[in-house]
Every structure is written in structure tokens, then in C-alpha cells.
Structure 1
Amino acid sequence: MAEAHQAVAFQFTVTPEGIDLQLSHQALTEIYLSGLRSWKKKLIRLKNGVITGVYPASPSSWLFVVIAILATMYMRSDPSMGLITSLRILLKDGQSLSAQCQTVVSAVLFSTLLWFSLIFTMRMCLKQLLSYHRWMFEQRGKMSNTTKVWVALVRIFSGRQPLLYSYQGSLPNQPVPAVKDTVKRYLESVRPLTTPDEFERMASLATQFESSLGNRLQWYLKLKALWASNYVSDWWEEYIYLRGRSPIMVNSNYYGMDFLYVTPTPIQAARAGNTLHAFLMYRRKLNREELKPVSTVIPLCAAQCERMFNTTRTPGEETDTVQHWQDSDYVAVYHRGRYFRLRMYSSSRPLSPREIESQLQRILDDPSPPSPGEEKLGALTAGDRIPWAKARKEYFSLGVNKRSLDCIEKAAFFVTLDDDEQGMMGEDPAASLDRYAKSLLHGKCYDRWFDKSFSVVIYKNGKIGLNAEHSWADAPVVAHLWEYVLATDSFQLGYNEEGHCKGEVDASLPRPQRLSWDITPECQEQISQSLAVAQALADDVDFHVFSFRDFGKGMIKKCRISPDAYIQLALQLAYYRDRGMFCLTYEASMTRLFREGRTETVRSCSNESCAFIKALEGGEGVEVCRRLLRQASEKHQNLYKHAMTGAGIDRHLFCLYVVSKYLGVDSPFLKEVCFFGFYNSNKAPQAVVYTTPPQALLLNYNISHI
């Protein structure tokens, strides 16, 4: 209870002698420093908002424009062509300023208007320049003169020292492809997968759609594109992610692994100390916008970074919502069935790695048992969404349960101190790697909080991992965070000779706060039901991870073949050899060249890839196979480039389908597309729900530089 007393700023009691007031100077100091930290962050956001708002210009450029205008006026020249004089006349009506002051104020007002006009012009020019994508389709190493001029202009208009979000206002909106082009690409993508009769039927439906309903739906879609930052992303987030009623564990969430062959320290609390401190360092850079925009010449949209921390997915009966808080000074920790609140700041400063290690060791050494129903509470986030939404409303909307649930949901992120050991170890490293991956993907189905933006898992032997919720961002954004954390942990923070974090410990730090719960038998029954659903799903996952070390992208590039195209063709060849047929193949491509862009589908199975595989399996000559391989590779690259530049197939068709549902009209072609595509729709008149195919074969690969 000592920690509870320390948290109270003042106490008073009424005695016969009067009121006895007791102040806690430590608590008041913490309140003051916490408020000071909050105001500092607000000022930083305000400053960055101004800098980003005037980019690609700078705030100091305003002074340059004012001085330039005043200098030209001093030379008895009027650069405003009479506008300054008109402003001076308006100011003269007030009779409160001298003639000289009126002239100066008029010049400053004109300079400010001119400055804003220049900023708007520069931003529009940069937006138009960033809309140019022909460079992507040019042969590598042979840049056209047009592209060379374009690169020079982009560098001129891009400004200097951009903050993370500086380019957001200059990124172009994602274009809406023509219905005719999308339908043509769709028919081309399904041709190798259909019989002649099926294709003829599909082509007939497509022609009918293109000449009738398609134009009407397209008009509404273009209308949305005029006012929305991105015509796809909000519907994609809502209908593909948030309206899904099946478990997000396995179906949606994804994971990240630690270094396979290196573990910086075998001490669990020490590894956690460095890891959590590295996350705080990244969040500080993110809040201050000190992270450089991901770009070489062309910047990528950084909008997905905004909800990285202090974010949770809240269940609803019809649709979930993503909630984000501006700040959080603690993390939620799970260990042996108990939940803790661990403050990450002391006296307005972040805890050092050594201090975090000490605090986590206190949790590891805590012998207290979990309260009834607490141990498997996280299973609610792993099961179906509707039961979780109802349970949340009925059992967690008041009292101690609401306070504890709020503590988890408003935490910066979630941490699991796992009692298992994972990694490549033992007599069968391959099998241990499979267990490691499955542990990160679903764990025990109750020891991760799958609704949090991401959960960090710290294993007993010092291995770490990450499980991320998918709706708020795509994997490349989380991968950037994860790479920073791993690199900072190993190469910047480091450990002492005993394997502990470096630094000293403040002995006065309060202990981590244990969260309290009052979970009724009815709620425990719902937890058991959700756990059964999640466990059945986890048991149905066949998972295998292996390390291929014979060669990597270096050798593939020497053959002048795209590494990604090579892998995709290899996967299709393997599938054909296993099943004797081709299948619809989904590869995700990013559309972050556009504002608030997320992903697009690359339909990797093409006429060219099928021709290559059939020739290879049919025993054709080496030269024939080599020629078909290059054609298939070039086709795949072309498909990928079209997807990246907004000329994909599936997102456009998906949005047309959503519009048709809003209008209450049916399209046989769009129904056929959804049936034959990667997502299925339910029967509700105005709803589209994503469901992962139960027999889907999901593959993930990372190509090394060997």
C-alpha cells in the first residue's frame, strides 16, 4: 500500500482541534513534472505543426520576403502593383497609425500574403512533380532526359531538412483508374485460371458492367476522390479490418522475430530493459518528428506512423474502432497470469534501461497469484469480436474492471514476460524455429493483448519478438520500428560484462502497480468460450519457418532477374508441382507514394508465369525456358509497378463494390469478382466484410544479400 499512499498528493482529516492537512511533496513534484512534460510536448507539436504547415518553405523565409519587399519600397519601387497602397488606404480609415507605420504594416501584410501564395505554389508544383511515375517504368541505368529534369526539379522544390510529416501536404492523391482499364487488367489476371467457357462468361459480364453500372459507380468514386485524402484507405480500414467479426489473432495480426543467431543477453529483465527503453527512444523521435521521411528522391507517406503508440483496437458489435491517445507514460505488463502498470518516466525523464530492468525484475520476483479469471483474460481479444464486444460492455464498463481495462488500452504498448524459452536451439533448430514463430503469432491464446497496436514478448532466455495488430498500419511501418529497436538494443545501449543493462538504479522508484479485477463467474465462462475458439484456430495453423542459405538476391541480380519476381515464380512452380494446377496469387504492394496510401494487390499468377512453368515442366529447351523466364519476370515487375502507381485491380474493384452497396444496386460482375477474388462479402445490403480463406496458403519471405 505504500505506493498508493505515495500517489496521493494531499490528505486531510477533521479533528477537534481543526483540519489537519498533509501534503506529499513527492506526489506534488511528480504532478508538476508530469504537467511540465505534457506542455513541452504540446509546444513541440505546435512548433512542428508550423514548420510542416509552411513546408517546403521555412518560417524564416517569411522574414526574407518581408525584408525584400521593404527594400524594394525603399528603392521607390512598388512590387505589389498598387496593392500595398490599397492596404494603406484601408488602414488610414482607422486614424490610429502614422503614415510611416501604415506603409510598413501594409508592406508586411502584402509580404505575408505573397509568402503564403509562394508556399501554395511551391506545394502544388511539388505535388504535380510527385505525380510523375514514368521513371519507374524506364530501364534500370538508362534514365531519360525528361526524368533527369524531373529529378532536378523535385530536389529544388523539396526544401531542406524535412520533418517526418513535412511531405504530407505535398503528396498526390491516389488516382482513380478508368473502369475500362481495371476491367481489362482483371480479365487478363483470371484468364490462366479459367476455362474458355468461364472466361467467355466473365468477359460478357465485364462488358455489360463497363457499359452500364460501372460508369455510375465510377462517378461517385471520383466524387469521393475530390474531397477525401485517399479514396481507398478509410473504406479499406473499416470494411477489410474493423468490420471483420472473426478473431484477429492469426487471421489479421502478424509478428516480428528477434535476431536468429545472436542473443545479446540471456537475462530476461535486462533484455526487456534495453528493448523497452529503445521503444521510448523511437517514440520520442516520432513525437518530435525527428525521424527522417522514408525517401531517396520520392518521399513515402508517413501517416501510418501517427497511431503507432498509445493505440488500441476497441471491439464493437457491428464494427471495431481504433482509439489513439496523444500520450501515455506507462506500459502494461503481463506475467504469469497477472497484469501490471509500469511507469516509464520519473521526474519527467524516461527511465534508464537499468531502472526498467530493475522494475521488471520486481515483477518477475512477485510471487502473488492471479485473481480469479485474470490469468486468461486476454483470450477475449483472441476470440470472436462480437462476444468480446458484449463482454466488454457488460463486465468492463464500470468500477475496478473499467479502470484496469482502461489502463491496458491507454498504455503506450503491451509487454509479455513469457516463461518459455524460444529461438533456434536444441537438437532440432528448425522445429524450435517453428515453435518460436507460432508463439509470436498466437502464444497461448491468452498471454498477448491482441487489440493493442503492438505487443512485445520477452522470453525467459532473452529472446524477444513482437505481435502487431493490422488495422492501424501495414508491416513495413512496424518493421522500421522493429529494426530500430533491435539495432539500438545491440549496438547503442549494450550490456555490461554480467549481461545486465548499463547505468545506475534509483532506489526510490515506486514498485509496478498490480491491476485489480473483479471477474464474475459469467464473465469467466465467456473467457473460456473465447479461449476455446482461439485455441481451435491456433491448433488449425500449420506453420513452418526455415532459413534458405544457398544463395540470395545477390546471385539473382547477377542473372538480371528481379529477386521478387524470381521468388514469386519459384512459389508458383512449387504450387504447380504439388497440386498440378495454378491458383489466384496475392502479393501485397505498397501505395505510399500517395497520401494515406496503404497497399494494393499484385496478381502474380499471369499468362507469362504460367507459360514459363508449363515450358519448364514440359521439358522445353534451356533457351526457351530462359526466354520465358525473363518475360515472366518483366511481366511481374510491370504488374508491381502498376500497383504501386495506383493502377492496380483489386482496390478499385473493392471501392466500386462498396459504392454499389451504398447505392443498393447489384452487379453480377462485381459479385463474381468478390466470389473469385481474395475477399468475400456477406449478405448485408450495405456491408462488406473481409474473411481469410480457411484453406489459404500464406507465405512470407525476406531475401538476404548473399
Structure 2
Amino acid sequence: MAEAHQAVAFQFTVTPDGIDLHLCHEALRQIYLSALHSWKKRFIRFKNGVMTGVYPGSPSGLLVVVGGYMTYTKYANLDPTLGLFNKLTTHLPISKYITDDTQQIIGGMLIGTGVWITIIFVMRNVLKSLLSWHGWMYSRHGSLSIRTKIWLVLVKLFSGPKPMLYSFQSSLPRLPVPPVKHTVKRYLESVRPLMDDEQYKRMEALAKDFENNLGPKLQWYLKLKAFWASNYVSDWWEEYVYLRGRGPIMVNSNYYAMDFLYVFPTHLQAARAGNAIHSIMLYRRKLDRAQIKPLMVQNTIPMCSSQYERMFNTTRVPGVEEDTIQHVNESKHIVVYHKGRFYKVWMFYDGRLLLPREIEQQMERILADTSKPQSGEETLAALTAGDRVPWAKARTEFFSRGKNKQSLDAVEKAAFFVTLDDTEQRYEPDNPVQSLDSYAKSLLHGKCHDRWFDKSFNLIVFKNGTMGLNAEHTWADAPIVGHLWEQVLSMDPVKLGYTEEGHCRGKPHPNLPGPQRLQWDISEECQSVISSSLKVANALADDVDMHIFPFNNFGKGLIKKCKTSPDAFIQIALQLAHFRDKKKFCLTYEASMTRLFREGRTETVRSCTMQTCDFVRAMMDEKQTREEKLRLLKMAAEKHQDLYRMAMTGKGIDRHLFCLYVVSKYLGDDSAFLKEVLSEPWRLSTSQTPLQQIDLFDLKKHPEYVTSGGGFGPVADDGYGVSYIILGEDLINFHISSKHSSPETDSHRFGSHIKQAMLDILALFELDKKAIK
């Protein structure tokens, strides 16, 4: 589609008089502007690297310290180096040219710089020590002890002014390795409600044997790794949990994020894509310049920002035994998929980022293209949806040379991937259940061949203007993608906006080169591999049972009146709902973050506790009094909060056991205890999607600007996946997934149990009666 002459910088013809050279000045101008943009970006990165490297110091602080030191020594008539510089200069061949004043200036600068570096070193290490204390997490909500208040003041004092995204990385403490004895004890406590006496005694014997024999040996190696590595978990977690998985990442690993629930800014697909793509590119620019404010708990306590580094220009590359993550520092294009065709779209022209209306113009050109897909092109992306080994072999055999390699490079090195979907999805008030379920399934897997599941994330824009994301999980966890998505949603309808006709604001560009159609040469043998991958992916997608529902009976506002943690309230409700659904308890996974530590990712909160089970049994017993149920609920909530705090502060169970297992495999020492622990299925996998930038959304004035949150596929074949997002004071959105093939599960049935469990727990507090009194 691109106009050929726009891509030609010069032409020449041979004549009797010699070579006649014709230069295209516009093309050369674009090359110059592109080079200028690249050098600006390199300079900004260099500057940010310097600023981050000296934080909490700054160049201005260097001038103050050096200037102050030199002024003091001059007026005090002191040698700033205490004679050291004089001794050194006697050994220099230029010593006779250095005057006393020059010596004093150079010496003052060197000593002042040394003092400045020492101050930075002290501040950074003091801050690291302060951040290693987590007693603040145990303060009651709304009240802080004197000790915690003093600690917060010291953290602010040593944090320095105006931090950039990566400023705190070197000041964050390392994730500690818990004692084996404590981990084993907490593990046994977590599985006690799931085992009968005989099963528990057997597991207790295995655990004690491990604790006394193999455990200390494995722990020694793990502590050695923790001493050298920035984080003793993250690299192994990325490698063994994600990159070495040989099954499909679609549904099993990738997750999705939804659009606004009740607001539809425009019905024009190209316009919605224009604003969204522009917003995402603006976010990338801020990310490149490290201008995104680091996420901080209570606006004071910094969290690790390392996961942001691979958000853009990143793809997962398949391998026969293990995949790899490919990241390039700079990418000036995106790749767009529409009706079986791939297009490369440049995001810069005239040395600047394309404006929303100009991006809409490019999307309109793609939508208007009537050309047919090349042979095998339409379902090509199914390779990323199926098993990894066939994709790895096909990539080596069919995509390592020629036009296929060039086109695949364009896809894999794109800033991100965009799908202009030819279906319509959105929340319909007249058909809320089916419309949301269909919307979620489309974001999770689509047609299995219209998303590039290996890319760090896919932006999906539907025919009616609704949109969403599908994200690959290896490079980062959901809160990182959520941070980007919140920025996009906050900019789209308000800051950028649309015209009355639904177009992006502004005007189309009269000379903007069109998108470039990617060229493929896909053999019949390759098409056979694509068909096999698509068959696997379709079977997986068809088995997914999704149910999404907005729970608007009450929200965190009423839960807080119950003096209960909203997350604990919901997790206990999920346990009650699961017991009513399956008539039994199960091992439950709740994702928690460990980003209070350097390069921290996640930890597991084992939400099915003895206390929670006691409460559920009481709820199922009609003879139990309301007072007794409330007492048990309070105990269960306190236990859940305690487990969550322990997970966040590096005292969790599962990552420690996982790393011990990896060490045992490296040493060739099999452990019956670890093998059994790591093979236990998570039949209830849960996660809260946090709203991280509350200031971006004024839900009191505009309650309609709420997102549906996001979700993921089921983790176990006979289990449930549950994601939820707490929005404002009165809304909680639930995303439930399971498999049709399991006779034990039904997402809609489980959803009805969740609703009822939430209502039944709230009823215990009799808030209506208290309000009447």
C-alpha cells in the first residue's frame, strides 16, 4: 500500500554524458530527522542513566557540595587535600606548571566530589536499611504508631526529591531467604485443612525428613545464590515457570484487560485505534525518559520498577527446549493485523510522533484495503497459539531467510502488535451475561490466529470501537500492564477526545506515506504446521468457559463499615462459594506482589486456611449463631491479612520451596517432599487487579468511567480461575474461567455462588439494623 516513490532516496541513470543522479530531498530529510530523533533518545537515556546512578544525589547537589567545600577551605586558608595533592604532583611531569591556586581548585574539586559520593553512598545504604523494615505493614488501618511515623519521615528524608522511574532500584533491599524450618512449618499449616489425619501424618513425616536432612544442604546453595543475585527467585521463576513451558501460552499464560464497562467514546474503529495507539506511544516516550513516577505505597515506600524495562519492543521467541525473550532498545513501528493481512505502520514522520488523527488515517487505509491475504498468511499467527516446539521448528525452517525473515523481524521488533478485529464486542445492558462472556473470550484467545500471542502485548480494537489488551506473561505481571492501560483509558475520552462525528481531533496528513504490507512466502509444508497449531489452539479455546459479571450490590464502602479488609472479605467469600459449588475445600492460590524488594515479582497467599474453613463450616451449619459466625469470620480475615503481609515481606512459602526444588534438580538430589509439593494442583487460582492510579479517575463525579478489569484462563483442568477488581465504593467486577470439559466446574454456577456468598457474609453484620438504630 505504501507509495513506492516515497521510499526511494535517490535514483540514477547512465547517459552518454555520465551518471545523472537524482536525489529525493524529502526522503533525505526524513532520514536526517530520523537520525536526529535517535540521537536525542540516546542522549536522554545517557542523562537518565547518570541521574539514576547518583540518586538520591543530583548534579546540582554536586555543585553545592564542591562549591561549599572549596569556599570553606579558601576562607579558612586550608589545603583541601591536607597536603596529599602536593605529594602527588611532585611525581607528575606537569607539576611545575601547576600553581598553588590551581592546586587548591583541583584539590577542592576532587575532595568535594569524594564527599558528595560518600554522602550518596551513606544515604542509599541508610535508605536500604530503612526499607528492609516492614513493621509499618502491621499498623492498624487509619492509625500509625510513633515508631512508624518516625520511620516514614526518615524514608522521605533519605529518598531525595523528584525520583524518576528507576531511581530507587539500587536502594531496594534484596529478597530474603526464609529459614527452611519456618517454611516447612507454614506449609504444613496450609495443607492441614485439605488432608485427613492419615494423609497429614504422612506429609508431616516427609516434611520433617526434608527439614532435617536434604533441606539444609539445598538452603546453603540458595543462600549463596541470594548473596550474589539481585533476586534469588525471579530469574528461575521466569525460566522454569514461563520460558520452559512447552504447551500453548494462549489461555494458559496470557491474560487480558478490558475497556470501559459503560462508556463507548466512539463507534469508529480507526478513530479508537488512533487515540489508543497515540496514548500508548506517549506512555512509551515517558517510559524511555524514565518520567513515569515510581509506584509508591502510601506515597512514600517505593516499589521495584524493573519489570517496566521490557514493556515495549519485546517478543517471546520460541525454542525447542526453552523460549527466550527478545528485546530491542528502539522500534519506530507497529504491526497491524486485519482480515488475515499484516501491515507495518511507521509511528514517526517529520521527526515526530504521529498525531491521533494521522494514526486514524493509517488505520482507515488498512480497513479500506480490499486485497486478499497471501497463501497461508491469514492463519499464520496460530503458530504462536499452539504448542511451542512445532512453532520453534517452523521458525527455524521456514522463517530464517528471505522475505519471511524480514516480515517476521518486522512483527517481532515492533513496538507492539495491533489487531483491528472484524467482530463487535461490548457490554450490552439488555444481554449482560452473554455479551461480557463473549467479549472476554475474544480478548483471551480471539479466533486463535488473529493475535500475535508472543508479543509483550496486543492492542485489540473491535469493529464497533470497543478495545482491550492481551498480554504475554513472561516479561512482567499484570499490574505493570495495568499501569499502562489506566493511562490509556484516562487519556482517550477526556484529554484526547473525539469530534462530533467520532473521529480523532485534528486533520489527516496530506503527504503521509501509507502502511507497508508485509510479504510472506509460506510453503504448503509450513501451512500444514500452521493448521496443526490452529487445531490445537481451537480445541483449547473452545474448552474455555468464561463468565464475567459486575457485582454492584455493594462494594468496598460497605465492607469497610464492617471493619474488614475488602480483599480478605472477597477471598473468604470465594472459599464459601467454592465449598457450596464443589462440597469440598481445595488448595487456593492468591497472587501477591514482592515488589518491595529488588526485581521482586509475585508470591502466593494460600487463602484456604484452617480459620477460613472453620468459618465456612459454620456458615453451612444452621445451628451456629450469628455471633459465632462473626467471631470466626474475624479470625479468618485476620489470618488472611497476616498471610498477605508475610507474602509481601519475603516470608512466603511457595517461591522458597520452588527454588529449593530447582537446586535439588541441579544437584541431582530428588526429594519426595518437594516433588509432592510442586505437583499439587491449584484448583482455585485467584488474583486481584489493583487500580493503581486512582487520581486518574474521578469515580464520584464520573462513575461511568469504570473499567471491567481483566482476567485469565483456568490453571487446573478441573478448577477455577478468578480475577476481580474493586472499583470505587460500590462496584466489584469478577472474571471467572473454567473448562467445559470438566464435569466438576461451571463458571456461571460458580458466579452465582460468589454473589450469594458475598451477600450472606454481609448479612452477618446487620448493617441495616445498625443504620435504623
TM-score bucket of the superposed structures, by smaller chain: over 0.9
- Partner AA of 1:387 in structure 2: P
After superposing the two structures, state which structure 1 stretch, 584-593 or 68-77, moved more. Answer: 68-77
Q: State the shift of 1:462 in Å.
A: 0.6
SS in structure 2 opposite 1:700?
Answer: strand
Q: CA 1:74–1:496 in 2, change beyond 3 Å: closer, same or farther?
A: same
Alignment match, 1:632 = 636
Alignment match, 1:663 = 667
After superposing the two structures, state which structure 1 stretch, 545-554 or 142-151, moved more. Answer: 142-151
Residue of structure 1 aligned with 2:385, choices 382, 385, 393: 382
Distance, in Å, in 2 between the alignment partners of 1:313 and 1:156 is 41
Distance, in Å, in 2 between the alignment partners of 1:258 and 1:97 is 68
What does residue range 51-70 of structure 1 map to in structure 2 within 5 Å?
51-70=51-70
CA offsets, 1:521-563, max 9 Å, x none?
Answer: 0000000000000000001111111111100111011001111
Alignment match, 1:115 = 116
Residue of structure 1 aligned with 2:433, choices 426, 430, 435: 430
Q: State the shift of 1:290 in Å.
A: 1.1
- Work out whether residues 268 and 458 of structure 1, in 8 Å CA contact, stay in contact via their aligned partners in 2: yes
After superposing the two structures, state which structure 1 stretch, 68-77 or 58-67, moved more. Answer: 68-77
Alignment match, 1:412 = 415
CA offsets, 1:111-154, max 9 Å, x none?
Answer: 11111111111100001101110110122233222211111100
Structure 2 unaligned regions, length at least 5? 684-713, 731-773
Q: State the shift of 1:426 in Å.
A: 7.4
- Partner AA of 1:193 in structure 2: L
What does residue range 184-203 of structure 1 map to in structure 2 within 5 Å?
184-203=185-204
Distance, in Å, in 2 between the alignment partners of 1:247 and 1:350 is 35
Q: State the shift of 1:586 in Å.
A: 0.2
Q: CA 1:65–1:21 in 2, change beyond 3 Å: closer, same or farther?
A: same
Alignment match, 1:697 = 720
Distance, in Å, in 2 between the alignment partners of 1:442 and 1:202 is 39
After superposing the two structures, state which structure 1 stretch, 135-144 or 647-656, moved more. Answer: 135-144
Distance, in Å, in 2 between the alignment partners of 1:426 and 1:170 is 49
What does residue range 535-554 of structure 1 map to in structure 2 within 5 Å?
535-554=538-557
Alignment match, 1:233 = 234
Alignment match, 2:26 = 26
CA offsets, 1:320-353, max 9 Å, x none?
Answer: 1111111111110000100001111101111111
Alignment match, 1:496 = 499
Distance, in Å, in 2 between the alignment partners of 1:225 and 1:677 is 28
After superposing the two structures, state which structure 1 stretch, 83-92 or 587-596, moved more. Answer: 83-92
- Work out whether residues 715 and 721 of structure 2, in 8 Å CA contact, stay in contact via their aligned partners in 1: no
What does residue range 484-633 of structure 1 map to in structure 2 within 5 Å?
484-619=487-622, 620-633=624-637
- Partner AA of 1:449 in structure 2: W
- Work out whether residues 84 and 107 of structure 1, in 8 Å CA contact, stay in contact via their aligned partners in 2: no
- Work out whether residues 330 and 412 of structure 1, in 8 Å CA contact, stay in contact via their aligned partners in 2: yes
- Partner AA of 1:14 in structure 2: V
Q: State the shift of 1:167 in Å.
A: 0.7
After superposing the two structures, state which structure 1 stretch, 406-415 or 15-24, moved more. Answer: 15-24
Alignment match, 1:40 = 40
Residue of structure 1 aligned with 2:657, choices 653, 660, 666: 653
Q: State the shift of 1:411 in Å.
A: 0.6
What does residue range 250-265 of structure 1 map to in structure 2 within 5 Å?
250-265=251-266
Q: State the shift of 1:79 in Å.
A: 8.8
- TM-score normalised to the size of structure 1? 0.96
Distance, in Å, in 2 between the alignment partners of 1:118 and 1:348 is 41
Distance, in Å, in 2 between the alignment partners of 1:672 and 1:49 is 45
Distance, in Å, in 1 between the alignment partners of 2:604 and 2:613 is 19
Alignment match, 1:85 = 83
What does residue range 203-352 of structure 1 map to in structure 2 within 5 Å?
203-295=204-296, 296-352=299-355
Distance, in Å, in 1 between the alignment partners of 2:619 and 2:372 is 62
Q: CA 1:375–1:145 in 2, change beyond 3 Å: closer, same or farther?
A: same
1:137 aligns with 2:138: yes
1:353 aligns with 2:356: yes
- TM-score normalised to the size of structure 2? 0.88
Q: State the shift of 1:15 in Å.
A: 3.2
Distance, in Å, in 2 between the alignment partners of 1:128 and 1:454 is 36
- Work out whether residues 452 and 468 of structure 1, in 8 Å CA contact, stay in contact via their aligned partners in 2: yes
- Work out whether residues 340 and 514 of structure 1, in 8 Å CA contact, stay in contact via their aligned partners in 2: yes
- Work out whether residues 88 and 106 of structure 1, in 8 Å CA contact, stay in contact via their aligned partners in 2: no
- Work out whether residues 682 and 719 of structure 2, in 8 Å CA contact, stay in contact via their aligned partners in 1: no
Distance, in Å, in 1 between the alignment partners of 2:421 and 2:295 is 34
Alignment match, 2:763 = none
Q: CA 1:419–1:79 in 2, change beyond 3 Å: closer, same or farther?
A: farther
Identity of aligned residues (%): 60
Q: State the shift of 1:69 in Å.
A: 1.5
Distance, in Å, in 1 between the alignment partners of 2:400 and 2:540 is 28
Q: State the shift of 1:424 in Å.
A: 1.5
- Partner AA of 1:4 in structure 2: A
- Work out whether residues 92 and 102 of structure 1, in 8 Å CA contact, stay in contact via their aligned partners in 2: no
Q: State the shift of 1:425 in Å.
A: 2.5
CA offsets, 1:672-696, max 9 Å, x none?
Answer: 21122559xxxxxxxxxxx943223
Distance, in Å, in 2 between the alignment partners of 1:19 and 1:70 is 65
After superposing the two structures, state which structure 1 stretch, 467-476 or 100-109, moved more. Answer: 100-109
Alignment match, 1:17 = 17
- Work out whether residues 84 and 106 of structure 1, in 8 Å CA contact, stay in contact via their aligned partners in 2: no
Distance, in Å, in 2 between the alignment partners of 1:87 and 1:478 is 54
Q: State the shift of 1:77 in Å.
A: 6.1
SS in structure 1 opposite 2:301?
Answer: coil
Please tell me the root mean square deviation across aligned C-alpha atoms, in Å.
Answer: 1.4
Distance, in Å, in 2 between the alignment partners of 1:256 and 1:29 is 40
Distance, in Å, in 2 between the alignment partners of 1:344 and 1:291 is 21
Alignment match, 1:148 = 149
1:444 aligns with 2:467: no
Q: State the shift of 1:429 in Å.
A: 2.3
CA offsets, 1:43-86, max 9 Å, x none?
Answer: 00111111111111111111111112112212336596xx4421
CA offsets, 1:262-302, max 9 Å, x none?
Answer: 10000111111111111111111111111111111101111
Alignment match, 2:749 = none
- Partner AA of 1:575 in structure 2: H
Q: State the shift of 1:257 in Å.
A: 0.5
Distance, in Å, in 1 between the alignment partners of 2:424 and 2:67 is 66
Q: Flag as ranges the 4+ runs of structure 1 deviating above 4 A.
A: 77-80
Q: State the shift of 1:24 in Å.
A: 1.4
CA offsets, 1:443-486, max 9 Å, x none?
Answer: 00000000000000111111001100000010011011001101
SS in structure 2 opposite 1:611?
Answer: helix
SS in structure 2 opposite 1:543?
Answer: strand
Alignment match, 1:687 = none
- Work out whether residues 591 and 602 of structure 2, in 8 Å CA contact, stay in contact via their aligned partners in 1: yes
Distance, in Å, in 1 between the alignment partners of 2:25 and 2:83 is 61
Alignment match, 1:168 = 169
- Partner AA of 1:90 in structure 2: L
Alignment match, 2:406 = 403
Distance, in Å, in 2 between the alignment partners of 1:283 and 1:703 is 27
